[in-house]
């Protein structure tokens, strides 16, 4: 059993040791912040995007870096998951992207505000978070990709926006149908009408009107319905 003086010495020594350890860890953590957070890449656009995030109370529905609500998707890695083109289209008109399904408020951001938000998410996605958030372990496994030559030649619009719902050769998401063979369902004219305004062809469809330009529609139709 320790004497009173020994117990006091033990307490003071332990407090000193753990205080030094705590201070050392604090200094080490603060020293790593600039590199792990990519502070030099924090542009004026990123700052404006963060202000928009705060001003519109996005954390009331979304989570970022583990902070916020869990009503809507976690957005720490949304830039890598969705890509800038898809994000711009979604922020421009959330209801058009997922008609009748999403409850995302249409904030009517202008093009600069959308660009600032995208830059903010791009910067957040580069922060070293020790692999947070983890990939969901209950998600169904994706089917193995087969070949990949056709997907490699896909138009940019398909690779950046369409893959958010569709797949080719196993590459992409599986929210909507795979698009490996559309010849039994569309010819060039009907696919053009569908891409121009899906709701006009099939009212109530989950396919959004992406407001694609005639050039982009032609490029997609030619690629999706190859000549041979």
Residue 100 sits in a domain whose CATH number is 1.10.760.10
Would you state the pLDDT for residue 123? 94
Under a CB-based contact definition with an 8 Å cutoff, are residues 86 and 17 in contact? no
208 falls within a domain? yes
Task: Identify the three-state secondary structure at position 210.
Answer: coil
80 falls within a domain? yes
What does the block give as tokens for 34?
């600039």
What does the block give as tokens for 68?
């916020």
pTM value?
Answer: 0.68
101 falls within a domain? yes
Q: Are residues 205 and 172 in the same domain?
A: yes
98 falls within a domain? yes
Pairing verdict, β 63-64 and 67-68: antiparallel
Q: Are residues 48 and 114 in the same domain?
A: yes
186 falls within a domain? yes
Q: Are residues 167 and 120 in the same domain?
A: no
- d(C-alpha 201, C-alpha 213), whole Å: 18
Q: Are residues 159 and 109 in the same domain?
A: no
Under a CB-based contact definition with an 8 Å cutoff, are residues 94 and 102 in contact? yes
30-48 confidence digits (pLDDT tens): 888 777 778 888 899 999 9
Residue 49's domain comprises 39-125
Which 8-state DSSP code applies to residue 180?
A: S
CA-CA-CA-CA dihedral for 99, 101, 103, 105, to nearest 10: -10
182 falls within a domain? yes
* Number of domains the chain contains: 2
Under a CB-based contact definition with an 8 Å cutoff, are residues 212 and 221 in contact? no
pLDDT along the chain (228 residues), means of 10: 84 93 91 80 94 95 91 90 87 77 83 97 89 64 58 89 87 86 89 92 86 92 85
Under a CB-based contact definition with an 8 Å cutoff, are residues 225 and 186 in contact? yes
Q: How many helices (H) and strands (E) does the chain have?
A: 11, 4
33 falls within a domain? no
Last residue within a domain, chosen from 69, 90, 125:
125
179 falls within a domain? yes
Would you state the pLDDT for residue 170? 85
Q: Are residues 46 and 121 in the same domain?
A: yes
């Amino acid at each position: 059993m320790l004497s009173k003086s020994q117990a006091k010495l033990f307490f003071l020594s332990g407090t000193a040791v753990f205080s030094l350890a705590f201070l050392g860890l604090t200094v080490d953590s603060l020293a790593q912040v600039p590199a792990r957070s990519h502070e030099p890449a924090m542009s004026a656009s990123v700052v404006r995007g963060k202000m928009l995030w705060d001003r519109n109370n996005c954390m009331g529905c979304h989570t970022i870096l583990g902070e916020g609500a869990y009503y809507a998707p976690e957005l720490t890695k949304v830039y890598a998951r969705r890509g800038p083109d898809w994000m711009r289209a979604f922020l421009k008109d959330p209801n058009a992207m997922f008609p009748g399904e999403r409850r995302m408020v249409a904030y009517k951001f202008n093009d600069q505000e959308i660009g600032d938000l995208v830059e903010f998410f791009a910067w957040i996605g580069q922060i070293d978070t020790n692999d947070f958030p983890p990939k969901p372990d209950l998600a169904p496994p994706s089917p193995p990709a087969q070949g990949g030559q056709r997907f490699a030649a896909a138009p940019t619009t398909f690779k950046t926006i369409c893959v958010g719902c569709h797949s080719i050769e196993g590459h992409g998401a599986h929210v909507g149908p795979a698009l490996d063979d559309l010849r039994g369902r569309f010819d060039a004219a009907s696919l053009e009408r569908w891409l121009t305004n899906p709701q006009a062809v099939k009212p109530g469809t989950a396919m959004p009107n992406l407001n694609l330009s005639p050039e982009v529609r032609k490029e997609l139709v030619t690629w999706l319905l190859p000549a041979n």
